[in-house]
């Protein structure tokens, strides 16, 4: 009995020690940490059988169990002294069977609300570009999605690239980032819609103050300001990863909240950690304004992909109960990898399993989760199970977007083709815009295919290449059609204008004599219609009822008078030009005289300077001579006197 109690205590200790170790690799860009210690502690609280590999790693004997606990303690000590070190320990997220049973009733009661919220989310995503039944379509039923602003080599994406990425996420209410790196907050808030908000992260404790300052600058520079921020997450799995203790995390969150409040932010501040970390350290519940947890069915190993939604619902109920039931729960990461090694019994990475998992999650708890993640994070380490890079939810979103744009372009071209002459200019502008957008989308799709080359098999590569080729061929065809239809429109309008100019008179059956007052479009009537005073009316009436010959004669007389007036004007211009030439000659003569006078003045000044110089020299000669004379006279007087 006593041995049994000791064994039970050791088992719970193994769970407590194992919980800090499970997490993804760093979500913010950071150099890989060396000398990672790997410890495997697997606890199946629900009774699901482990795989053969995991069975070999955990012995049923008390000696082996005790050894594992000692190793875990040693590893925990090492992890606490080396912060931010990625680990590879995978711990079951499942709670005990008793807690699962106690929460079953509350899970059932929340089923209808979750389903209705998911339906509401689905109907509101009018800007979605995902195809029905795809991973993207189901992912868009979630509350939001995570995003990393890094290229495949770990460098920052440009602001334009980030904006382009975010424009593809218009169906998501919340976009989570892990740090304000790469000016991503500015790019995101500058692109996201009015119904969207950013979940901003502060990833590093050692630069918390400076990161808050960076975040604040980017937020305040946006048009939304703090109103565009959904929440601020301080850290990601700090306790679960063994980076910091609960008290250290609590102090960091309190400090961040205080700084943010001084800076004008009054929204939610949380720390994001795993379900197990929150359950085993309920003080985290008090630290956060809502329960922010990461939870992945894949890492349980005993959950089939199609059961991911119901599994998450149970976990949400359990964590809500553990934290007192007063605060809301948001799953800040969840998804399923598409590549890598099998974990446990049912943790099998594949696209089909990802579709099944995301579909289940969306239908069960869509309004309570943020999908993980937008694109594959190829800048990360693959991890022990090779899955860390491959969690993207938008595998074919660019392709689906291109398909929808192609369909819209085809529809608009059909409208334009049916009536090119009378089609409104708006349809031409719409076609031009769609062609430009589709061209950019195909370029992004091509870049995406190139990036994914290493991670795809030959059939997948060929499939993507064929898709891209077909879309490009369609775009070229539609561009040619558009140019042809525009040419037809231009030719038709030119012909229409020509006919109106040439056949207006004949079609209205009026006289060809422009001087006949019976002609409604005659020169006389037009002149009378445009008259603005009685004098003009009288002048116009002189030409009433003239024959063609008389009208032409009078018109010639008017032209001759006009010609004479033009001659007079030209003559006046010639006289004015002659006057200008004469004036120019006078000015030149005056210039010569002034130059001569200036030269004369110059000579006079030079002569005066010479005279003054000579006078100055003569004056000093006189003074010197006078002094010498006086000195000689003094000597004569001294010797002879």
Mean pLDDT by runs of 10 across the 641 residues of the chain is: 43 40 45 36 38 38 41 39 32 34 39 42 49 82 95 89 85 95 95 95 95 96 95 96 94 96 96 93 92 95 96 95 92 95 95 94 96 90 92 75 85 90 86 89 82 66 83 92 91 82 57 53 47 48 57 77 82 81 82 74 72 85 88 82 62
How far the first Cα of the chain sits from its last, in Å, is: 154
DSSP state at residue 154: S
Last residue of some domain: 497, 526, 543?
497
User: CB of 358 within 8 A of CB of 371?
Assistant: yes
Phi and psi, residue 270, nearest 5°: -140, 170
Residue 364 is among the residues annotated as catalytic for this protein: no
163 found inside a domain:
yes
254 found inside a domain:
yes
State the pLDDT at residue 89: 29
187 found inside a domain:
yes
Same domain assignment for residues 176 and 259: yes
Three-state SS for 177?
coil
388 found inside a domain:
yes
For 613, the domain range is 604-640
Same domain assignment for residues 217 and 308: yes
State the pLDDT at residue 514: 56
CA distance 486 to 583: 61
Can you spell out the DSSP letters for 46-92? T-PPPPHHHHHHS-SSHHHHHHHHHHHHHHHHHHHHSTT--------
Same domain assignment for residues 248 and 205: yes
Same domain assignment for residues 315 and 423: no
493 found inside a domain:
yes
Three-state SS for 359?
helix
Q: Is 429 left (phi over 0), alpha (psi -120 to 50) or beta?
A: alpha
117: cis peptide before it, omega within 30°? no
CA distance 22 to 25: 10
CA distance 215 to 82: 26
Same domain assignment for residues 426 and 294: no
Same domain assignment for residues 431 and 384: no
CA distance 303 to 92: 10
State the pLDDT at residue 353: 94
CA distance 396 to 355: 12
User: CB of 377 within 8 A of CB of 149?
Assistant: no
Domain count, the chain: 3
The domain that contains 464 carries what CATH number?
1.20.58
State the pLDDT at residue 452: 66
State the pLDDT at residue 134: 81
The domain that contains 310 carries what CATH number?
3.20.20.80
509: cis peptide before it, omega within 30°? no
State the pLDDT at residue 67: 45
Last residue of some domain: 332, 365, 395?
395
State the pLDDT at residue 494: 85
Same domain assignment for residues 342 and 418: no
Last residue of some domain: 367, 395, 423?
395
Same domain assignment for residues 344 and 443: no
**Residue 225 tokens, joined:** 């300001």
Same domain assignment for residues 252 and 319: yes
pTM of this structure: 0.55
Same domain assignment for residues 343 and 404: no
Count of alpha carbons within 13 angstroms of residue 534, beta-carbon side: 0
DSSP-H helix ranges across 225-267: 246-262
99 found inside a domain:
no
Same domain assignment for residues 369 and 436: no
Marked catalytic residue, from 26, 65, 237, 333:
333
Task: Count Cβ atoms below 10 Å from residue 605 Cβ, excluding itself.
Answer: 10
* Cα dist from 271 to 9, 88, 395, 555, whole Å: 29, 21, 29, 93
Residues near 204 by beta carbon (within 8 Å), at least 6 away in sequence? 28, 84, 179, 211
92 found inside a domain:
no
Same domain assignment for residues 381 and 430: no
State the pLDDT at residue 445: 81
511 found inside a domain:
no
């Amino acid at each position: 009995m006593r041995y049994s109690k000791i064994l039970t205590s050791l088992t719970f200790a193994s769970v407590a020690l194992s919980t800090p170790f499970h997490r993804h690799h760093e979500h913010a860009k950071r150099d890989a940490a060396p000398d990672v210690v790997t410890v495997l502690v697997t606890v199946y609280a629900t009774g699901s059988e482990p795989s053969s590999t995991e069975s070999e790693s955990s012995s049923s004997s008390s000696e082996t169990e005790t050894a594992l606990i000692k190793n875990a303690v040693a590893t925990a000590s090492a992890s606490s002294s080396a912060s931010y070190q990625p680990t590879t320990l995978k711990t079951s997220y499942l709670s005990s069977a008793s807690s699962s049973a106690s929460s079953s009733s509350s899970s059932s009661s929340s089923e209808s609300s979750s389903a209705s919220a998911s339906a509401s989310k689905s109907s509101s995503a009018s800007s979605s570009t995902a195809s029905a039944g795809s991973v993207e379509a189901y992912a868009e039923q979630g509350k939001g999605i995570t995003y990393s602003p890094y290229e495949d080599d770990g460098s920052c994406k440009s602001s334009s690239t980030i904006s382009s990425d975010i424009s593809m996420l218009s169906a998501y209410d919340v976009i989570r980032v892990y740090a304000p790196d790469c000016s991503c907050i500015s790019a995101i808030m500058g692109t996201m819609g009015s119904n969207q908000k950013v979940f901003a992260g502060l990833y590093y404790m050692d630069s918390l103050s400076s990161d808050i300052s960076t975040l604040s600058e980017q937020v305040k520079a946006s048009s939304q300001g703090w109103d565009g921020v959904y929440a601020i997450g301080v850290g990601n799995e700090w306790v679960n990863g063994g980076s910091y203790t609960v008290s250290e995390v609590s102090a960091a969150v309190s400090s961040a909240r205080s700084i943010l409040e001084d800076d004008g932010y009054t929204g939610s501040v949380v720390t994001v950690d795993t379900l197990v970390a929150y359950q085993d350290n309920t003080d985290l519940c008090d630290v956060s304004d809502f329960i922010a947890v990461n939870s992945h069915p894949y890492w349980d190993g005993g959950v089939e992909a199609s059961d991911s939604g119901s599994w998450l619902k149970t976990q949400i109920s359990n964590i809500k109960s553990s934290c007192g039931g007063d605060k809301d729960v948001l799953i800040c990461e969840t998804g399923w990898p598409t590549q890598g090694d099998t974990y446990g019994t049912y943790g099998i990475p594949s696209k089909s399993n990802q579709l099944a998992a995301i579909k289940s999650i969306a239908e069960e708890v869509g309004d309570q989760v943020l999908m993980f993640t937008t694109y594959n994070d190829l800048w990360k380490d693959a991890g022990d199970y090779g899955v860390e890079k491959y969690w993207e939810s938008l595998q074919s979103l660019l392709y689906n977007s291109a398909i929808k744009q192609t369909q819209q372009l085809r529809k608009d071209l059909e409208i334009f083709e049916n009536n090119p002459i009378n089609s409104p200019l708006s349809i031409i502008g719409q076609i031009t815009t769609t062609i430009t957008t589709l061209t950019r989308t195909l370029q992004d799709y091509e870049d995406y295919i190139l990036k994914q080359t290493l991670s795809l098999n030959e059939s997948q590569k060929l499939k993507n290449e064929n898709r891209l080729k077909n879309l490009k061929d369609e775009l070229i065809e539609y561009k040619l059609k558009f140019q042809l239809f525009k040419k037809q429109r231009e030719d038709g309008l030119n012909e229409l204008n020509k006919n109106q100019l040439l056949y207006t008179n004949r079609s209205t059956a009026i006289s060809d004599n422009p001087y006949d007052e019976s002609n409604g479009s005659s020169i006389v009537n037009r002149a009378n219609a445009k008259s603005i005073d009685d004098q003009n009316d009288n002048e116009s009436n002189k030409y009433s009822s003239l024959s063609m010959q008389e009208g032409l004669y009078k018109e010639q007389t008017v032209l001759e008078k006009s010609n004479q007036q033009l001659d007079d004007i030209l003559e006046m211009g010639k006289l004015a030009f002659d006057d200008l030439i004469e004036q120019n000659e006078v000015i030149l003569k005056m210039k010569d005289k002034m130059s001569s006078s200036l030269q004369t003045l110059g000579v006079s000044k030079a002569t005066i300077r010479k005279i003054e110089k000579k006078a100055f020299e003569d004056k000093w000669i006189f003074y010197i001579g006078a002094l010498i004379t006086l000195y000689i006279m003094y000597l004569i007087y001294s010797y002879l006197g």
